[in-house]
């Protein structure tokens, strides 16, 4: 098993902060070529693209490192993952040679039905065994390690045998996978469940963390939802600074998926992250 | 005894598919907690999220249908589609093949007199939406056909190229449908469309062929529809032509082939079944 990522960062640059590139911003991005180091693409959004859009993205590949971030593989499915879906992901990895490949500690598939959401897993030994098996299968299929991201959970299974941080730590130990820490998800879980984000950051192994995510949530009908529809709130920036002190400067993506702002505002967020990365270095 | 992971996941999927049963599931399958909310309330967040995401996915695949059906009908049909035909893939772009039929049934129940037309429009949109997902393949060209020795024409095996999709419906409104589709699709999908639309007389079918940055639409008469449909069942050009001529003695094969060549819609299948 290779322990490296499929591509290498574009250049050994301090520009480790980047943005989630959504297609609504593509034309502006091509025109402005903003000074960010990393572009995140949702892997599933690449599946049905026309060849012309693929070519436009490949043209950016020369100037930016790519991170392919999946949302639909269902690493936690007891019945296993969809082999066709995995094959499609592998195809996009071969095409784009990303520096980072990631998925979520979640499931969305059972009885042959897929739900377009990131559903939480019970933090049990059985679930750990299932996710470990699936992560190993993914890593063998794509020939590289992946990073697994903590999620926002709006409901929890009561039969937990360990915390999410312990689950991820053990998963990394068993499979060699890396960890992607989404600081907004920690914030959302704190708001909804009273979780302690600092405990999470203290528990996960230092060497396993390879990437951070920043985003903004929304309050809807009394619940905080990981909508990626708002600016990164100050508590998340504070968590980010804490994480940088503990883990050092690592690639960081600012995600914004709904109610998209002008590209300049998104890039301004990445610039703020870059300044904090520089301080941490 | 603690339920297995598979049992937990099946229960959750059941609750998501039947939101009205969410409370029953939440209480019957021990173990959901929602922080400051009940398990059922927490589960409702997921029900609402997934429903909104799937309706949004259908809206993106069927923008013209949404416009013509109206939000109320479209959403009603979308919710019904989610219940009766839940997604089978984590690739949301694949979701929605069954929506045209659901839209027709829902529109009919709401006494819309354009139910059949809406379903036709939706079928066209679905074909268009899925074309970029197909692997383009070099088409069999007019020059290729000219180079073929006459004796080989009898055994020629053809199929539609992967970048082509044929829409042959069962309703009589195709000319009107095609006109509407042609007039409005380009601004709705962002995909440059409709370089030409050629139909002599009544159009009974529609062939969509994806090309670089555009899609060509070809209207097909009834005999041409029959020939293309036969070819999709079996790649024998001779069999398709004989069957078509039996019912439509005036079928003009060369005229149809010429248009299909121009559109790049045909492939030749070799004896070992490979696309040539």
- DSSP states of A101-130: EEEES-EEEETTEEEEEEEPPP-SHHHHHH
> A126: which chain B residues are within 8 Å (Cβ-Cβ)?
4-5
Looking at residue B199, what is its pLDDT?
40
d(CA B90, nearest CA chain A) in Å: 5
Q: Are B158 and B117 part of one and the same domain?
A: no
Q: Are A267 and A19 in contact (CB under 8 A)?
A: yes
Task: Provide the pairing of β-strand B158-160 with B193-198.
Answer: unpaired
Looking at residue A20, what is its pLDDT?
96
- From B130, B161, B182, the end of a domain falls on B130
- From B70, B97, B130, the end of a domain falls on B130
B132 and A74 within 8 Å at the Cβ level: the answer is: no
Query: Of the candidates A110, A124, A154, which has its C-beta nearest B46's C-beta?
Result: A154
Q: Are B124 and B144 part of one and the same domain?
A: no
Number of domains in chain B: 2
Q: Are B209 and B114 part of one and the same domain?
A: no
Q: Are B161 and B190 part of one and the same domain?
A: yes
Please count the residue pairs, one from chain A and one from chain B, whose beta carbons lie less than 8 angstroms apart. 139
What is the rounded CA–CA span in Å between residue A257 and residue A259?
7
For residue B275, being part of any structural domain is answered with: no
For residue B63, being part of any structural domain is answered with: yes
Rounded to an integer, the average pLDDT of B56-76 is 92
B89 and A154 within 8 Å at the Cβ level: the answer is: no
Looking at residue B35, what is its pLDDT?
62
Q: Nearest chain B Cα to A219, which residue?
A: B45
Pick from B160, B170, B77: nearest CA to B123: B170
Q: Are B32 and B116 part of one and the same domain?
A: yes
Q: Are B106 and B185 part of one and the same domain?
A: no
The pLDDT-based confidence of B153 (bands split at 50, 70, 90) is confident
Q: Are B248 and B140 part of one and the same domain?
A: yes
For residue B274, being part of any structural domain is answered with: no
Out of A107-116, B133-142, B246-255, least confident range: B133-142
The secondary structure of B180-245 as a DSSP string is: HHHHHHHHHHSS-EEEEEE-SS---EEEEEEETTEEEEEEE-HHHHHHHHHHHH--BHHHHHHHHH
For residue B84, being part of any structural domain is answered with: yes
> What tens digit of pLDDT does each residue of B204-216 get?
677 777 766 566 7
pLDDT over 70 percentage in chain B: 74
The residue whose two tokens read 């991170």 is A67
Q: Are B179 and B124 part of one and the same domain?
A: no
B5 and A222 within 8 Å at the Cβ level: the answer is: no
> A78: which chain B residues are within 8 Å (Cβ-Cβ)?
4-6, 9
Residue B268 has pLDDT above 70, yes or no: yes
pLDDT mean across residues, chain B: 78
The 3-state secondary structure of B32-56 reads EEECCECHHHHHHHHHHHHHHHHHH
Instruction: Name residues of chain A where pLDDT drops below 70.
Output: 1-15
Q: Nearest chain A Cα to B48, which residue?
A: A117
Torsion of CA A14, A20, A21, A25, to 10 degrees: -110
Name residues whose C-beta falls within 8 Å of residue B119's C-beta, 6 or more positions apart in sequence. Answer: B100, B101, B103, B104, B107, B169, B171
Rounded to an integer, the average pLDDT of B83-91 is 91
pTM of the predicted model as reported, rounded to 2 decimal places:
0.82
Looking at residue B215, what is its pLDDT?
67
Selected for mutation to probe chain B from A27, A44, A110, A127 (highest B CB count within 10 Å) is A110
For residue B246, being part of any structural domain is answered with: yes
What is the span of the domain harbouring residue B34? Answer: 5-130
- From B96, B130, B164, the end of a domain falls on B130
Name residues whose C-beta falls within 8 Å of residue B203's C-beta, 6 or more positions apart in sequence. Answer: B174, B175, B178, B219, B220, B221
For residue B154, being part of any structural domain is answered with: yes
For residue B276, being part of any structural domain is answered with: no
Q: Which run of H or E residues covers position A211?
A: strand A209-214
CATH of the domain at B165: 3.90.930
> A156: which chain B residues are within 8 Å (Cβ-Cβ)?
32-35, 42
Q: Are B75 and B195 part of one and the same domain?
A: no
d(CA A264, nearest CA chain B) in Å: 24
> A79: which chain B residues are within 8 Å (Cβ-Cβ)?
6, 9
* Cα torsion A60, A65, A70, A71: sign: negative
d(CA A78, nearest CA chain B) in Å: 5
Pick from A34, A37, A29: nearest CA to A211: A37
Q: Are B176 and B194 in contact (CB under 8 A)?
A: no
For residue B90, being part of any structural domain is answered with: yes
Q: Are B25 and B46 part of one and the same domain?
A: yes
Q: Nearest chain B Cα to A84, which residue?
A: B89
Q: Nearest chain A Cα to B56, which residue?
A: A116
Q: Which run of H or E residues covers position B29?
A: none
Judged by CB atoms within 8 Å, which residues 35-54 of B form the interface with A?
Answer: 35-37, 39, 41-43, 45-46, 49-50, 53-54
Pick from A145, A51, A34: nearest CA to A98: A145
Q: Are B120 and B149 part of one and the same domain?
A: no
DSSP label of B275: B
Q: Are B124 and B164 part of one and the same domain?
A: no
Number of H helices, E strands in chain A: 9, 13
Looking at residue B28, what is its pLDDT?
53
- Top pLDDT among B77 and A192 is at B77
Residue B145 has pLDDT above 60, yes or no: yes
Judged by CB atoms within 8 Å, which residues 71-100 of B form the interface with A?
Answer: 86-94
């Amino acid at each position: 098993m290779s322990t490296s990522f499929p591509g290498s960062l574009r250049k050994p640059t301090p520009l480790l902060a980047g943005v989630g590139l959504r297609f609504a911003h593509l034309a502006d991005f091509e025109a402005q070529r903003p000074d960010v180091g990393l572009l995140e693409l949702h892997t599933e959004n690449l599946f049905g693209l026309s060849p012309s859009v693929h070519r436009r993205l490949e043209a950016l590949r020369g100037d930016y490192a790519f991170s392919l971030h999946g949302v639909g593989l269902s690493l936690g499915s007891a019945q296993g993952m969809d082999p066709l879906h995995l094959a499609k992901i592998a195809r996009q990895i071969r095409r784009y040679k990303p520096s980072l490949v990631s998925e979520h500690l979640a499931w969305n598939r059972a009885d042959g039905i897929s739900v377009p959401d990131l559903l939480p897993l019970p933090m049990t030994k059985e679930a750990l065994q299932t996710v470990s098996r699936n992560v190993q299968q993914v890593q063998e299929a794509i020939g590289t390690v992946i990073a697994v991201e903590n999620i926002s959970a709006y409901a929890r299974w009561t039969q937990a045998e360990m915390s999410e941080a312990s689950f991820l730590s053990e998963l990394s130990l068993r499979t060699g996978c890396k960890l992607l820490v989404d600081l907004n998800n920690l914030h959302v879980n704190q708001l909804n469940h009273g979780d302690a984000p600092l405990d999470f950051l203290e528990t996960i192994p230092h060497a396993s963390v390879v990437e951070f995510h920043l985003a903004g949530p929304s309050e809807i009908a009394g619940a905080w939802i990981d909508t990626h529809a708002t600016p990164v709130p100050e508590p998340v920036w504070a968590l980010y600074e804490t994480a940088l002190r503990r883990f050092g400067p690592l690639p960081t993506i600012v995600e914004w998926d709904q109610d998209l702002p002008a590209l300049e505002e998104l890039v301004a967020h990445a610039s703020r992250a870059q300044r904090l990365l520089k301080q941490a270095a | 005894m603690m339920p297995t992971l598979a049992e937990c996941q099946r229960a959750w999927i059941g609750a998501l598919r039947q939101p009205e049963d969410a409370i029953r599931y939440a209480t019957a399958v021990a173990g959901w907690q929602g922080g400051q909310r009940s398990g059922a309330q927490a589960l409702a967040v997921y029900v609402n999220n997934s429903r909104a995401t799937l309706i949004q996915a259908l809206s993106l695949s069927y923008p013209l249908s949404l416009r013509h059906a109206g939000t109320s009908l479209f959403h009603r049909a979308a919710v019904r589609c989610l219940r009766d035909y839940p997604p089978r893939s984590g690739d949301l772009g694949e979701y929605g093949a069954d929506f045209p039929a659901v839209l027709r049934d829902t529109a009919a129940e709401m006494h819309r007199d354009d139910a059949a037309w809406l379903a036709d429009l939706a079928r066209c949109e679905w074909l268009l939406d899925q074309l970029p997902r197909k692997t383009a393949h070099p088409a069999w060209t007019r020059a290729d056909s000219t180079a073929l020795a006459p004796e080989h024409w009898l055994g020629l095996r053809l199929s539609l190229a992967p970048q082509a999709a044929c829409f042959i419906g069962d309703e009589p409104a195709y000319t009107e449908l095609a006109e509407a589709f042609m007039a409005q699709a380009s601004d709705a999908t962002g995909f440059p469309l409709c370089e030409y639309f050629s139909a002599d007389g009544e159009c009974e079918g529609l062939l969509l062929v994806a090309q670089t940055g555009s899609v060509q639409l070809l209207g097909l008469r009834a005999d041409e529809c029959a020939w293309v449909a036969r070819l999709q069942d079996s790649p024998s050009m001779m069999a398709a032509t004989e069957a078509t001529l039996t019912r439509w003695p005036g079928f003009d094969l060369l005229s149809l082939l010429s248009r299909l060549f121009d559109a790049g819609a045909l492939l030749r299948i070799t004896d070992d079944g490979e696309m040539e």
